[in-house]
Amino acid sequence: MPRRVAIIATGQTKHAARRLDVNIRELISEAVIRALQDADLTMQQIDAVLLSNMEPFEGFLFPELWAVEGWGGYMKPSVKFNTGGTVGTTTAIAAYYYVASGIYDVVMAIGFQKQSEGHTQTAITTVGDPIWERSIMAGAIGNFAVMATTYMHESGVTEEQAAKAAVKARRNACLNEYAHLQMPDITVEDVLKSEMLAYPVKRLDMCPQSDGAVAVIFAEESKAQRLCPRPAWVKAVATAHEQQYMGDSPKRLAEMRSLIAASRRAYQAAGITNPRKELDVAEIYEVASFAELAMYENLGFCERGEGGKLIDMGVTELTGELPVNPSGGVMSTNPIGATALIRVAEAALQIMGKAGRRQVEGARMALATGYGGNAWTDIMILSREKP
Amino acid sequence: MSEESPMLRVEFFLNTEYHYAVGHYGTRFFTELRDHARIMGMRCPECGRVYIPPRPVCGICYRELQEWVEVGPEGTIVGWTVVRIPFIDPMTGEQRPVPYGFAIIRLDGASTSLYHFLDETDESKIAVGKRVRAVFREQREGSLRDILYFRLLED
């Protein structure tokens, strides 16, 4: 039987478009030091460290090697992960496995990216198969745009409804001192009038590129109870993969097969039958406004085709029935290697009651997702109650 | 933190070339495309799905694929966009001229879809469900560029 595991501490940097004041090592250690302070631990008490980063973006290979003093890895057991948009949740799930297996007691997961130091749009284009897709898809934005038109056709979601999701994200971000974009006055009109990147995706429908890092500490049951007054217990984890080509999944955003499979597997493991009722908060990997609405449907927060209705009804607002991304989400902060691990950290903060002005009152069950271009999805469910 | 502060940066440029193997199945596909302007998919003996691009196994059934079938050259738009943001074409390293249309196209007889260019950039003229037809290059070389683009057919 796996051991019980909880998140006991988190640390984030101030995320921004350009953190020119620090190099990558310094950026990482900013998050690591905050997480250690949060847990009242020293690096010596961390048994193993796992790293989350997308290597080509900064043009560095083996960040675990060159940034070792930044992440406190000297002589530690360590592995670096590189699984695209999901990398942060992959790393969190691996940290859970490390502790649940009984091999290590206290494990730190670290995610980081300094997008200002490379050319993400070019690097991300290499996600596409070079023979069949790469020169057509126009990076992440073009790929999202074609998926969004399919989704609009299938569900009847409008550009206005997507814009509402974008507004919600940026307004929530103003309650999060670490968030990159702070746009308190943003309106639906602003989103609709922002520059058209690739129909129907406008500049304010998309996530930004950020510099930032996050660290999350996982511990086994007895240490978690000793070190943390209200740990965030890992209730369930799940991952699922699609086929490889972009054109393989039939309806793209309208039917995200890997998200459906992973979430249903996690709900079953956590004993959740009605996610909208039983989850108190969700931190999802919504790289674009249209994707957020599609994810509502695919996560089972509403019926198929009702993603737009859910945002219209305010269900996912901070004060709604199921707040989604009180942190401001990916649409406000996106240091890719850290992004999905920030979802986990924010979900943990909600359970721990440490989310400050973005706290969902009485949050007891939280969902975090990672998302890799429709092809693969990770889910982690955290709970106030021990699993 | 302040962007006005005199923080220093160093600059590097990396210019690399890549050469990707098209593989056994891709070679057969592109040879047919080059020599006969035919678009070929592969059918799964278990579920009957017809795959584009061609590949050795059905990802869902995990059965070996051996039967080639001709698909297209007409198809239906599943998703589309008109790209207006400038970006670097990874085939050339040069900036791609914008705007250009591209679509997810379900070729007739295929179960999966193909990403390709549309010869239309007027958003009001493109829609999911519209029919398109492949326009082939005169001098074909054995790559996806042998299809110049897909042309919208009249309703």
Residue of B nearest to A249 (CA): B112
**pLDDT exceeds 80 at position A222:** yes
Q: How many contacts (CB atoms, under 8 Å) link A and B?
A: 130
- Decide if B80 and A139 are in contact by the 8 Å CB cutoff: no
**Residue-level pLDDT at B5:** 66
**pLDDT exceeds 70 at position B4:** no
Confidence of residue A373 (pLDDT cuts 50, 70, 90): confident
**pLDDT exceeds 60 at position A348:** yes
Share above pLDDT 90 across residues of chain A, in percent, rounded to a whole number:
81
**Closest listed residue to residue A242, CA positions, set A223, A260, A215:** A260
Other Cβ atoms within 10 Å of B114 Cβ, number:
28
**Residue-level pLDDT at B17:** 83
Window from A112-116, A137-141, A235-239 with minimum mean pLDDT: A137-141
User: How far B105 CA sits from the closest chain A CA (Å)?
Assistant: 8
**CA distances, A206 to each of A25, A170, A289, A316 (Å):** 28, 11, 7, 19
pLDDT tens-digit readout, B80-104: 999 999 887 777 778 888 999 999 9
**Residue-level pLDDT at B2:** 52
Crossing angle of helices A336-352 and A87-100, in 10° steps, is 60
Question: How far apart are alpha carbons B19 and A68 in whole angstroms?
Answer: 33
Residue of A nearest to B9 (CA): A20
Helix (H, G, I), strand (E, B) or coil at A260: helix
Confidence of residue A375 (pLDDT cuts 50, 70, 90): confident
- Decide if A132 and B144 are in contact by the 8 Å CB cutoff: yes
Tokens 């083996």 correspond to what residue? Answer: A62
- Decide if B79 and A146 are in contact by the 8 Å CB cutoff: yes
- Decide if A126 and B90 are in contact by the 8 Å CB cutoff: yes
Share above pLDDT 70 across residues of chain A, in percent, rounded to a whole number:
100
Share above pLDDT 70 across residues of chain B, in percent, rounded to a whole number:
96
Other Cβ atoms within 10 Å of B90 Cβ, number:
18
**Residue-level pLDDT at A251:** 76
- Chain B residues whose CB is inside 8 A of the A201 CB are 81
**Residue-level pLDDT at A290:** 96
| pLDDT mean over B26-44 | 97
Higher-pLDDT residue of A251, A317: A317
| Residue A84 DSSP one-character state | G
**pLDDT exceeds 60 at position B3:** no
User: How far A48 CA sits from the closest chain B CA (Å)?
Assistant: 31
Query: Which residues on neighbouring strands pair with residue A232, listed in sequence order?
Result: A7
- Decide if B18 and A130 are in contact by the 8 Å CB cutoff: yes
**pLDDT exceeds 70 at position A67:** yes
pTM attached to this predicted model: 0.95
Residue of A nearest to B99 (CA): A198
User: How far A268 CA sits from the closest chain B CA (Å)?
Assistant: 23
Residues of A (307-366) whose Cβ lies below 8 Å from B: none
| Angle formed at CA A312 by CA A307 and CA A315, multiple of 5 degrees | 75
| pLDDT mean over B54-77 | 95
Average pLDDT value for chain B: 92
Give start and end residues of each alpha helix (H) in A156-249.
Answer: 159-173, 188-193, 221-227
Tokens 């990802």 correspond to what residue? Answer: B59
Give start and end residues of each alpha helix (H) in chain A.
Answer: 24-39, 63-66, 68-71, 87-100, 120-125, 139-155, 159-173, 188-193, 221-227, 257-270, 275-278, 289-298, 307-312, 336-352
**pLDDT exceeds 60 at position A114:** yes
Question: How far apart are alpha carbons A374 and B31 in whole angstroms?
Answer: 31
Question: How far apart are alpha carbons A326 and A311 in whole angstroms?
Answer: 14
Average pLDDT value for chain A: 94
| pLDDT mean over A309-320 | 97
Could you tell me how many residues make up chain A? 387
- Decide if B12 and A243 are in contact by the 8 Å CB cutoff: no
* Of the partner residues A21, A121, A139, the one whose CB lies closest to the CB of residue B1: A21
**Both tokens of residue B70?**
């001709």
- Chain B residues whose CB is inside 8 A of the A58 CB are none
User: How far A319 CA sits from the closest chain B CA (Å)?
Assistant: 32
- Decide if A135 and B91 are in contact by the 8 Å CB cutoff: yes
Question: How far apart are alpha carbons A241 and A259 in whole angstroms?
Answer: 9
Share above pLDDT 90 across residues of chain B, in percent, rounded to a whole number:
77
Confidence of residue A301 (pLDDT cuts 50, 70, 90): very high
**Residue-level pLDDT at B84:** 95
- Decide if B90 and A134 are in contact by the 8 Å CB cutoff: yes
**pLDDT exceeds 80 at position A208:** yes
| pLDDT mean over A276-302 | 97
- Decide if B88 and A246 are in contact by the 8 Å CB cutoff: no
Distance of CA A75 to the CA centre of its chain: 29
